[in-house]
Amino acid sequence: MASTIAHSLVHIDGSFCEGGGQILRNAVALSALLSKPISIPNVRHNRRPPGLRKQHEAGINLAAAICAAETEGVHLASTSVTFKPGKIEPPKTLTADPGTAGSTTLLLQVSLPCLLFSASPTLPSQLTLRGGTNASQAPQIDYTQHVFLPFMKRHFGVDIALKIIRRGYFPKGGGVVFCSIPSVTEPLPPVTLTERGPIQLIRGEARVGGLPFILAERMKNAARVTLLAGGLSPTTIRINAVRETQEEAFGSGGGILLLAETNNGCVIGGSSVSTKNKAPEEIGNEAAEELLRNLRHDGCVDEYLQDQIIIFIALAKGRSTVKTGPLTDHTRTAIKIAEQMTGATFHLEENPSGFVIISCDGIGYTPSL
């Protein structure tokens, strides 16, 4: 029996391309959905230090709870993981807590596909995520709330509710996010998104928690100056400054999220997280420069959304076509994992001017009831 299981394992090289935690998240989610056991050596090979961190351990354990998986090597600093999924029958109430400032948005990334296609379509799954909400090296929770989830609703018809109970900043964490995730019984529709359309509005929010309000104002003002210098109209820019109460945030920190909305319904983001060694002006400028960079390529999604949608267009039924900016290593990694695990086929048309057309013939996945 052991030799049969070993033979049926899908082997995924954890050092491929991006070589970080995204390989784990996408591979584990697809393993759970497709009932394909996986083995991942060289876990986070391109990170220092390599191996699992607490947030990756919590994410894999969350996925394992959703699909009654057997796991090996799921512990701190492990560089080899085996995940053998059972049937997806998640408890309707789930909690994940790495015990650190590990990203809540990355915990959502690994669990969302599994819960979306859970076998019982009657009631939504209730998911509580604890940890960091606004951290570097991961999407801020505001990005998930205002860019990713609206994309899921507009293009896949999936309405996921997310409520930020309390923000948690590095290094303490302590944030709490609640999600209500419906189940789908039909395949996701394909996405066609190749015309961004003119910019209608630039909106944003600079926020601090446990810090003086003036720091949020300085982030906001610096971002506005950079956007104006980049050629955007002053009448389209609306950025607010916010200071959270002690009840709304654990620890001290801050950041800024900028959103460009177009008349075709595209939302392009730019963001930055406050750190002790950077002035607020530098944080505001970074977010604005990131937004301007994403706008220059005329893509319909930004550099952070492009890799997050790959798993969903691979599972969708039919051909999806999405115009993006230059591909990131995260996106190339997501495509490789999706092709290896699902059999979906991707075609990339990389234009010399910088934009890319991603086409995918999805597998039309439906959960086995």
- DSSP at 103: B
- In single-letter form, the type of residue at position 155 comes to H
In angstroms and rounded to an integer, the radius of gyration of the C-alpha atoms of the chain is 20
155 catalytic? Reply is no
Annotated binding site for ATP: 109, 304-308
Angle between the 54-67 and 104-116 helix axes, to the nearest 10 degrees?
20
| Secondary structure of residue 9 in the 3-state scheme | coil
Cβ pair 302, 296 in contact under 8 A: no
For residue 15, give the nearest of 352, 336, 252, 265 by alpha carbon: 336
On whether the CB atoms of residues 116 and 158 are closer than 8 A, the answer is yes
| Catalytic residue chosen out of the listed positions 45, 297, 330, 347 | 330
The CA-atom distances, in angstroms, between 163 and each of 19, 156, 178 are: 31, 20, 5
DSSP annotation of 172 = T
Alpha-carbon distance of 69 to 51, in angstroms, equals 20
Binding residue numbers? 109, 304-308
Sign of CA dihedral 243, 249, 250, 253: negative
Q: Rounded to an integer, what distance in angstroms lies between the CA atom of residue 30 and that of residue 33?
A: 5
Spatial CA neighbour of 158 closest among 326, 362, 309, 344: 309
- The β-bridge relationship of strands 175-181 and 192-193 is unpaired
Judge whether 104 and 58 are in contact, CB under 8 Å.
no
Q: Show the tokens assigned to 22.
A: 């995204």
Q: Are strands 237-244 and 249-250 parallel, antiparallel or unpaired?
A: unpaired
Phi-psi region of 282 (alpha: psi -120 to 50; beta: other; left: phi over 0): alpha
Active site residues: 330
